[in-house]
């Protein structure tokens, strides 16, 4: 197999950008509507918290504004406290979902749920997927990171990690690139692979994965690269998302299909 620039059977030309799925834009926090003080039940203390928030100069801002939007109108006002009192003492209707079980807000509104007690509503486990890849890149002028390097760059915000592997090496014309993302305690392993691929040719791609519901803490990130050859070192890096929510790491790539043609 030879590198793409001299491959007689190279079929692809130009750049292919494949967007696999549209991911969520923010971490979805699970909560119970109406449980403003986050103790697992709607009681008198909850409408009292709403009234304090509304009429005491914005003090006691609820950690989960969606929980205080008891009628799910998209705003927090007196009607939410009234709704709770009506439910508690006058046999009024149940609050809209999520209630009484934990869940995410089914309504798209301007309110957010920054945090909710993990004892009441345990956080969802993280999950990840490959959301896009682009390539093949034309040798030798691939633009950006040169072909004798590969890089991992990431951005973390609101529980969502976007991680891009720049210059991932694969066959020139696989049916698809895929990535399996595995979580184990404080480790994230991203196993990259290709499906199909019949060209006598390899080239470089950029692969972007998105991981949601990821807590802001330290992780060891490992990338499984099927074309990696010694002495090139595999990516195994430690990232602390609480301390450094974005970063970039690069390693030399000297073996085919990177720097040797
Ligand atoms: Ca409560
Ligand atoms: Ca409301």
With bands split at pLDDT 50, 70 and 90, how would you rate the model's confidence at 19?
Answer: low
In a domain, 260, yes or no: no
Round the CA-based radius of gyration of the chain to a whole number and report it: 24
For residue 5, the model assigns a pLDDT of 43
Centroid of ligand 1 to alpha carbon of 47 (angstroms): 9
Centroid of ligand 1 to alpha carbon of 45 (angstroms): 6
User: Is residue 20 pLDDT above 80, yes or no?
Assistant: no
Centroid of ligand 1 to alpha carbon of 57 (angstroms): 22
In a domain, 163, yes or no: yes
In angstroms, the CA 258 to CA 4 distance is 10
Centroid of ligand 2 to alpha carbon of 29 (angstroms): 18
For residue 18, the model assigns a pLDDT of 62
59 lies in the same domain as 152? no
The DSSP code sequence of 125-162 is PPEEEEEEEEEPPPSS---SS-TTEEEEEEEEETTEEE
Centroid of ligand 2 to alpha carbon of 84 (angstroms): 11
Q: Encode pLDDT of 48-57 as tens digits.
A: 999 999 998 7
In a domain, 258, yes or no: no
Centroid of ligand 1 to alpha carbon of 81 (angstroms): 13
With bands split at pLDDT 50, 70 and 90, how would you rate the model's confidence at 144?
Answer: confident
213-237 burial, b at 16+ Cβ within 10 Å, e below that, comes to: bbeeeebebbbebebbeeebeebee
| Of the residues 81, 107, 123, the one at which a domain ends | 123
Tally of domains within the chain: 2
In a domain, 257, yes or no: no
Name the residue range of residue 209's domain. Answer: 4-25+124-252
CB 204 within 8 A of CB 228: no
112 lies in the same domain as 38? yes
In angstroms, the CA 25 to CA 119 distance is 25
Interval 129-157 mean pLDDT: 88
End-to-end alpha-carbon separation of the chain, Å?
10
20 lies in the same domain as 55? no
Higher pLDDT, 6 or 113: 113
209 lies in the same domain as 224? yes
167 lies in the same domain as 150? yes
In angstroms, the CA 7 to CA 30 distance is 52
| Of the residues 123, 144, 179, the one at which a domain ends | 123
For residue 11, the model assigns a pLDDT of 34
In angstroms, the CA 190 to CA 231 distance is 21
């Amino acid at each position: 197999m030879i590198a793409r620039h001299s491959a007689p059977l190279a079929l692809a030309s130009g750049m292919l950008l494949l967007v696999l799925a549209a991911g969520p834009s923010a971490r979805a926090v699970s909560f119970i509507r109406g449980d403003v003080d986050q103790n697992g039940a709607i009681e008198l203390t909850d409408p009292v918290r709403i009234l304090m928030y509304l009429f005491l100069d914005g003090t006691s801002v609820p950690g989960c504004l969606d929980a205080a939007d008891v009628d799910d109108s998209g705003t927090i006002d007196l009607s939410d406290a009234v709704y709770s009192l009506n439910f508690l003492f006058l046999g009024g209707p149940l609050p809209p979902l999520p209630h009484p079980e934990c869940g995410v807000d089914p309504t798209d509104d301007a309110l957010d749920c920054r945090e909710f007690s993990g004892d009441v509503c345990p956080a969802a486990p993280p999950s990840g997927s490959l959301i896009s890849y682009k390539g093949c890149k034309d040798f030798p002028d691939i633009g950006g990171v040169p072909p004798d390097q590969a890089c991992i760059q990431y951005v973390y915000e609101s529980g969502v990690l976007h991680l891009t592997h720049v210059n991932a090496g694969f066959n020139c014309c696989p049916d698809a690139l895929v990535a399996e993302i595995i979580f184990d305690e404080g480790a994230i392993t991203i196993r990259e692979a290709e499906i199909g691929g019949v060209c006598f040719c390899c080239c470089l791609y950029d692969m972007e994965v998105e991981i949601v519901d990821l807590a802001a803490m330290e992780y060891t990130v490992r990338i499984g690269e099927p074309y990696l050859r010694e002495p090139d070192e595999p990516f195994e890096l430690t990232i602390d998302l609480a301390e450094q929510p974005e970063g970039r790491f690069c390693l030399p790539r000297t073996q085919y299909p990177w720097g040797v043609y």
